[in-house]
Amino acid sequence: MKTITVMLAGGRGERMGGSMNKVLIPLSGKTVLRRSVEAFRGLTDEMIVVARQSDMDAIRREAESADRDFPLIFASGGFSRQQSVLNGLRAASAGPEDCLLIHDAARCLVSPAVIRRVLDAVKGCGTGVPSVPVTSTCKLRDENGYVLHTLDRNAMAEIQTPQGFRADLLKKAFRRAEKDGFEATDDAGLLEHAGTPVLLVEGDRRNIKLTSPEDLPLALMYLKEEEPVMRIGMGYDVHRWEAGRKLFLCGVEIPWERGLLGHSDADAPLHALMDAMLGGCALGDIGRHFPDTDPELEGVSSLLLLRKTNELIHQQGYSVCNADITIVAQRPKIAPYIPAMNRCVAETLGLPADRVNVKATTTEKLGFEGREEGLSAYAVCTLEKTRIQI
């Protein structure tokens, strides 16, 4: 059985109060859409992203930037939710026995556990829809607003997505709805109309649908509970001394008889700091992002690379809280330049001066640093979660 997910990302977001599609809103470093796509990693074989044509370029960029292990297909949305789902199904390569998951991209906090429960239900009986119990008292009213009677909340459930169905059952339900001119508010309603039993499985109260601005702080609160607020990164770098090159340490040019050998300006302390920043966000190292095989990076200032690294961690929802750098070299004497180094790093990262500390030490003539073959640098930084962006 293959699993295919139809991701509905065509909402206009009028109730959210903005002009942009709500699934493109950044939420703690990642857009709502990206979080929704990444939720299905390891749980689907294919995903069809359905969106309005006017948003398609932005939707495509965000979906393709997500950390995923499945291919993406893009389809245009329809005049209604039901038509958008149908457009997604037409783009899917689903056989009769395959599992189709229909998910609202605005539910970006859906957990793998909920998705697995839906999949297990589909494998067992052909349908699976997540739900949570209704906790408030609900009343049925007439057209004038008067109460007709109180509903039994023990018999009621609040429905979520993804809703899962065996492909032949869902397609049959769509054919029946088209024949009868029936419009449902969710996919389960189509199967109910066709007379197919729908099984409810346990949902999750965190699996909220982002509809109004009031939902965003709640989503952020849930994310803070799931994601670390503070991270720590450590970096290390070494460069060999080379005659005839300028010496740059922490962005400051230091007059001396030799410089450091490297593809860029070989600013080892900044390279160590960049590795610490990337490591703290689990983004690999500087060799991955700024390879020494890139001709455009030859001789480039490491301050420029530090700015780009800062942008990378901001995209992950983090910023540098403080940085501590140690330079290890027998010569030259570095202490007179440390205040300028502190200022340079702090300004580049947009930090107060007291958040950066550069220090230098020798090895008492031991090791390659003591033999004046090269210079090494260590860096440690803390990263803190940035605020929500709306």
| Final residue in a domain of this structure, among 226, 244, 267 | 226
Domain co-membership, 74 together with 24: yes
Q: What percent of the chain is helix, strand and coil (3-state, nearest 5)? A: 35, 25, 35
Specify the pLDDT at position 321.
Answer: 93
Report the C-alpha gap between 309 and 292 in whole angstroms: 16
Bridge partners of residue 202, in order along the sequence? 131
| Helix axis angle, 302-315 to 338-349, nearest 10° | 40
Bridge partners of residue 360, in order along the sequence? 327
Domain co-membership, 78 together with 212: yes
Q: What token pair was written down for 270?
A: 């900044």
Domain co-membership, 186 together with 261: no
Asked, for residue 390, whether it belongs to a domain, the answer is no
- Tell me, what DSSP letter sits at residue 59? H
Specify the pLDDT at position 42.
Answer: 94
Domain co-membership, 59 together with 202: yes
Whichever domain contains 86, its CATH number is 3.90.550.10
| Final residue in a domain of this structure, among 176, 199, 226 | 226
Q: What token pair was written down for 329?
A: 């070299």
Checking 65-70 for CB contacts under 8 A at 24+ apart, the result is: 65/34, 66/33, 66/34, 66/37, 66/38, 67/38, 67/41, 68/37, 68/38, 68/40, 68/41, 69/41, 69/42, 70/40, 70/41, 70/44, 70/45, 70/46
Dihedral, 86, 92, 97, 102 alpha carbons, nearest 10: -50
Range of the domain at 272: 230-385
Q: Are 18 and 47 in contact (CB under 8 A)?
A: no
- Domain count for the chain, please give it: 2
Domain co-membership, 154 together with 241: no
Asked, for residue 244, whether it belongs to a domain, the answer is yes
Whichever domain contains 279, its CATH number is 3.30.1330.50
Domain co-membership, 112 together with 198: yes
Specify the pLDDT at position 388.
Answer: 43
| Whole-prediction pTM | 0.62
Domain co-membership, 216 together with 295: no
Asked, for residue 291, whether it belongs to a domain, the answer is yes
Asked, for residue 179, whether it belongs to a domain, the answer is yes
Report the C-alpha gap between 160 and 120 in whole angstroms: 16
| Final residue in a domain of this structure, among 226, 245, 266 | 226
Domain co-membership, 222 together with 234: no
Domain co-membership, 280 together with 189: no
Domain co-membership, 149 together with 234: no
Report the C-alpha gap between 5 and 72 in whole angstroms: 10
Specify the pLDDT at position 18.
Answer: 61
Specify the pLDDT at position 278.
Answer: 96
Specify the pLDDT at position 113.
Answer: 95
Asked, for residue 143, whether it belongs to a domain, the answer is yes
Domain co-membership, 180 together with 69: yes
Specify the pLDDT at position 390.
Answer: 37
Domain co-membership, 50 together with 143: yes
Specify the pLDDT at position 29.
Answer: 76
Nearest C-alpha neighbor of 163 from the set 207, 122, 109: 122
The ranges of the chain with pLDDT < 50 are 387-390
